Amino acid sequence: MRSYSLFTIFLLCIVILIIDMLAFYWLRSITQLLEPDLKTIINFLFWMFTMGLISGILILKIKLDDIDPRRKQLMISSLYGLTVSSFIPKIIFIIVISLLYYLNVVFSEKESIVVIPIIGLFSGFLPFFVIVYAIFKAIYHFKIHRHTLEFEQLPSSFNGLKMVHISDLHLGSFNYRFKIMNRAIKLINDLEPDLIFFTGDLVNNFAWELRGWQRVFIKLKTKIGKYAVLGNHDYGDYSKWESESEKQDNHEAIKRFYETINFKLLLNDSDIIKKGHEEIAIVGVENWGHPPFKQYGDLQKALEKTANVPFKILLSHDPTHWSEEVINQTDIALTLSGHTHGMQAAVKIKDLQWSPIKYKYRHWAGVYRVNDQYLNVNRGLGWMGFPGRLGMRPEITSIKVINV
């Protein structure tokens, strides 16, 4: 909430109030069928929740600087979840019941008195329960996405190489729920990967979010190695700092954490993996994205040691980097990214999946191919902002590469 002005937050509260007034107007068509005492209780609870939510948002914004950072993140996420779980169902309820009343061509006037309020109420409760499921169940319902990719340039000794790709942990959002992450660690280890890649956003903002997590991530096992890059949230750019040195100390602490869990952090650098006389390169760039995201990444610097390596895997947090600097400009075979979270919301019908995030990111979830170059965009293992996932479960990607 720090990135929004008090005026913006005030406008948000006005919008919430207007939506609730409209919802209450239509709610009366339902409560009029109830006993007077029950009707009074429902009306009281409705407005108590509305006033409590608005007051909570305003107080948190005004007192934001005085709140302990740990409590602040939890409070912001809680209010975010309450706002979404209240706001969206009410909007749907208003739209549906308005259409039913003003475009009533199905029911007679007598039937409308009972049927329309019931349908309207159902239209509001259904999305509410879906959002509740997203917050309390789907958010940590990890899903393994499996892909087998074919490459002509893959050295024969690396044929069948198995890798796991994870991204966007945002550990501050887990609020030290180590047992939940241990479930994901077990799923990863059960895949018996040769390599594990992490493509950034380890934290929300602060190095203190990492306390206690070493004993969880040190359990990750591979046959060859573990590699990582930084994401936009790992630089501390979204927080206010007393000094530049304080921000830098926070950044350095985040980088040191990778050493404690035996991940090699690639900062515009590469590492060569050899099997006999054959080699592949793991290339990692710092965050690179379109403004307002910073462009710390330097791909040409990262590629300096890889000129004679036939097969390259690039770790780059933001998938926009692939279309801007990778495809048709380099010989990088496979790029691994994250960043989008798939907006933590999507509608999926069979093999088709749609999310509003597609209007911001051309490549936002899953595997993409241009000629002989591939990109995988991981949907994220953690969450940020809205404390839930709608049709966009947290992802562990299992990738196997083979010769054509």
pLDDT at 85: 86
Q: What are phi and psi of 383, to 5 degrees?
A: -150, 160
Question: According to the model, what pLDDT value does residue 357 have?
Answer: 95
For range 82-93, the mean pLDDT: 88
What pLDDT does residue 109 have? 52
Q: What is the mean pLDDT of the chain?
A: 91
Could you tell me the two tokens for 339?
């960043």
pLDDT level of residue 117 (50, 70, 90 thresholds): low
Helix (H, G, I), strand (E, B) or coil at 3: coil
Q: What is the pLDDT of residue 1?
A: 40
Asked whether residue 111 carries a pLDDT value surpassing 70, the answer given is no
- Per-residue pLDDT, 124: 77
pTM metric for this prediction: 0.88
292 preceded by cis ω (within 30°)? yes
Residue 200 half-sphere exposure toward CB, CA atoms < 13 A: 29
Chain position carrying tokens 């019908």: 349
Q: Does domain 142-403 have CATH number 3.40.140.10?
A: no
Q: What is the pLDDT of residue 96?
A: 85
Span 208-245, pLDDT tens digits:
999 999 999 999 999 999 999 999 999 999 888 989 99
Query: What length is written for the chain?
Result: 404
Average pLDDT estimate for 21-25: 90
Per-residue pLDDT, averaged over 298-326, amounts to 97
Per-residue CA distances from 310 to 158, 188, 307, 315, 359 (Å): 12, 28, 8, 17, 35
pLDDT at 254 over 50: yes
* Distances from the Cα of 177 to the Cα of 144, 181, 183, 210, 390, angstroms: 21, 7, 11, 12, 21
Give the per-residue pLDDT at 93.
87
Is the predicted pLDDT of residue 317 greater than 70, yes or no? yes
* Burial status of residue 131 (CB atoms within 10 A of its CB: 0-12, 13-18, 19 or more): buried
**How confident is the model at residue 2, as a pLDDT?**
45
Residue with the larger pLDDT of the pair 261 and 58: 261
Q: Which residues of the chain form CATH 3.60.21.10?
A: 142-403
